């Protein structure tokens, strides 16, 4: 694909991003190669949540809470899928003119058939692909308050948060009438929609719910770094569906997103391990896994806009920033973000979103900017999208947490927390003997 300067305005941005809004101008014929890739990508993104995220998070908690994390990821997956069919797809991609949500024209997938097409793929396939993003985003949040949340309260929060926060932001970024789309914000695969969105909601949740019993005193080390490594590796594999799939076709743009997802992640692993080697004198498996996820997060908004060298730079830069937040900043303020969702996903997402505006420049090997846009102008657009996401998700999440806490309570009692959520919430144990 040529640089954006050879085409104009939002149409150029949409063409580079492979966004669904161009379905109206594309021929209404599904391409079998694109369809096959998008079917595969959808399965890969689901694979990221179950079992990828479930194992990654599960290994990081204590033995007595392992099954609770697996169950939370599983039920969130099922709940959001049903909500997506009922009203989620319509609110995000319903074709309404509002810059804030897609309307209700496609509730219960009204008007979507096996013959309807979005771009070069069946609309059902596009809907399923976007549904897997809607699934993993709220699932990311649970890592911040793992080991102390009421299961019923969590499911109520997820249903409300997905509806009021996730679906509108997805519309704003990825639909032609969306606010950020019309601004020309560059977010290829979900830096704002997924990572900043979930990361700030996670921090708010950790603050509202409070610290775990024994935080700072008891041994709260991960119970299985083996499972965490397996989960992180699954996330990396699945992320190719996440990023390369966001090209919405089997094409050169997907290839660019794929190589960037490889090399940015590799650079972030090396960077995090190097920092640990300098600071702690030992590079840990937990650090390598954290660097892996930080690199994946940072490259998500940038993967279709930057070149491979820019991706390496992004990976090298994001790990020191995230490391600082999960160690110094977290220690300074004393909040209990159990699995560092804010420090890795929100901070990594912000880093990626802002650096996208710089590294997308053709002078750095990126695809360039829309006609008449400058690096400074693009950076201001990126910043506005980041700040809007932080404020909307942060404020609405706070209100939802408080309302649910007033009505049904957010966290289990201290005795139940000491016993562990596996038995208290689910009557099971992850391990026997």
* Domains of the chain (ranges, CATH numbers): 21-211+218-426 (1.10.3430.10)
Q: What is the mean pLDDT of residues 299-315?
A: 98
Q: What is the mean pLDDT of residues 84-108?
A: 97
* CA proximity to 343, closest of 356, 354, 327: 327
Structure tokens belonging to residue 263: 């090399």
| 340 conformational bin, left if phi > 0, alpha if psi -120 to 50, beta if neither | left
Say what the pLDDT of residue 28 is.
73
Query: pLDDT grade, residue 316 (50/70/90)?
Result: very high
> Is residue 193 scored above 70 in pLDDT?
yes
Determine the Cα–Cα distance for residues 166 and 148; give it in Å rounded to an integer.
24
Q: What is the mean pLDDT of residues 39-56?
A: 98
Query: pLDDT grade, residue 29 (50/70/90)?
Result: confident
Query: pLDDT grade, residue 4 (50/70/90)?
Result: very low
Say what the pLDDT of residue 271 is.
98
Say what the pLDDT of residue 279 is.
96
Say what the pLDDT of residue 85 is.
98
> Is residue 383 scored above 50 in pLDDT?
yes
> Is residue 47 scored above 80 in pLDDT?
yes
H-state helical runs in 147-251: 151-161, 167-174, 179-183, 197-209, 225-243
| 427 conformational bin, left if phi > 0, alpha if psi -120 to 50, beta if neither | left
Distance of CA 60 to the CA centre of its chain: 19
> Is residue 16 scored above 80 in pLDDT?
no
* Measured CA distances, 239 to 188, 234, 246, 278 (Å): 13, 8, 10, 29
Q: What is the mean pLDDT of residues 119-147?
A: 98
Q: What is the mean pLDDT of residues 240-259?
A: 98
> Is residue 295 scored above 70 in pLDDT?
yes
Q: If DSSP codes are grouped into helix, strand and coil, which group holds residue 340? A: coil
Q: How far apart are the first and last CA of the chain?
A: 59
Query: pLDDT grade, residue 119 (50/70/90)?
Result: very high
Say what the pLDDT of residue 5 is.
30
Q: What is the mean pLDDT of residues 304-311?
A: 98
Query: pLDDT grade, residue 2 (50/70/90)?
Result: very low
Query: pLDDT grade, residue 22 (50/70/90)?
Result: very low
Q: What is the mean pLDDT of residues 21-49?
A: 84
- Is 34 in contact with 248 (CB distance < 8 Å)? yes
The 10s digit of each residue's pLDDT in 279-291 is: 999 999 999 999 9
* Measured CA distances, 43 to 47, 129, 343 (Å): 6, 8, 28
The 10s digit of each residue's pLDDT in 390-423 is: 999 999 999 999 999 999 999 999 999 999 999 9
Q: What is the mean pLDDT of residues 315-333?
A: 98
* CA proximity to 268, closest of 148, 330, 198, 352: 352
Query: pLDDT grade, residue 247 (50/70/90)?
Result: very high
> Is residue 7 scored above 50 in pLDDT?
no
Say what the pLDDT of residue 13 is.
47
What mean pLDDT is reported for the chain?
94
Say what the pLDDT of residue 23 is.
40
Determine the Cα–Cα distance for residues 288 and 315; give it in Å rounded to an integer.
13
């Amino acid at each position: 694909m040529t640089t954006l300067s050879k085409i104009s305005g939002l149409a150029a941005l949409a063409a580079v991003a492979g966004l669904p809004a161009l379905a109206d101008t594309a021929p209404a014929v599904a391409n079998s190669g694109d369809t096959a890739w998008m079917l595969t990508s959808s399965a890969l993104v689901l694979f990221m949540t179950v079992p990828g995220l479930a194992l990654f998070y599960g290994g990081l908690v204590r033995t007595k809470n392992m099954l609770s994390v697996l169950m939370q990821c599983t039920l969130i997956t099922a709940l959001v899928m049903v909500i997506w069919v009922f009203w989620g797809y319509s609110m995000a991609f319903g074709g309404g003119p509002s810059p804030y949500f897609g309307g209700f024209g496609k509730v219960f997938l009204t008007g979507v058939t096996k013959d309807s097409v979005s771009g070069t793929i069946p609309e059902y396939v596009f809907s399923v692909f976007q549904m897997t993003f809607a699934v993993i985003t709220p699932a990311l949040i649970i890592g911040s308050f793992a080991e102390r949340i009421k299961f019923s309260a969590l499911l109520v929060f997820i249903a409300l948060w997905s509806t009021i926060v996730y679906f509108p932001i997805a519309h704003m970024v990825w639909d032609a009438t969306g606010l950020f789309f019309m601004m020309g914000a560059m977010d290829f695969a979900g830096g704002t929609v997924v990572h900043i969105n979930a990361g700030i909601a996670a921090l708010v949740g950790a603050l509202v719910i409070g610290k775990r019993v024994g935080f700072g005193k008891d041994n709260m080390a991960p119970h299985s770094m083996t499972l965490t490594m397996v989960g992180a590796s699954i996330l990396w594999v699945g992320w190719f569906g996440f990023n390369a799939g966001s090209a919405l076709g089997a094409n050169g743009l997907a290839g660019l997103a794929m190589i960037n997802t490889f090399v940015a992640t590799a650079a972030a692993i090396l960077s995090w391990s190097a920092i640990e080697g300098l600071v702690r004198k030992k590079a840990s498996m937990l650090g390598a896994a954290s660097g892996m996820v930080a690199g994946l997060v940072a490259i998500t908004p940038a993967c279709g806009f930057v070149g491979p060298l820019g991706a390496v730079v992004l990976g090298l830069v994001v790990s020191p920033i995230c490391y600082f937040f999960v160690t110094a900043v977290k220690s300074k303020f004393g909040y209990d973000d159990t699995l560092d969702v804010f420090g890795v996903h929100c901070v990594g997402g912000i880093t990626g979103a802002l650096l996208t505006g710089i590294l997308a420049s053709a002078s750095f090997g990126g695809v360039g900017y829309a006609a008449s846009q400058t690096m400074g102008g693009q950076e201001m657009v990126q910043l506005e999208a980041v700040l809007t996401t932080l404020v909307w998700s942060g404020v609405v999440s706070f209100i939802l947490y408080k309302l649910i806490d007033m009505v049904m309570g957010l966290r289990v009692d201290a005795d139940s927390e000491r016993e562990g959520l596996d038995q208290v919430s689910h009557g099971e144990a992850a391990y026997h003997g």
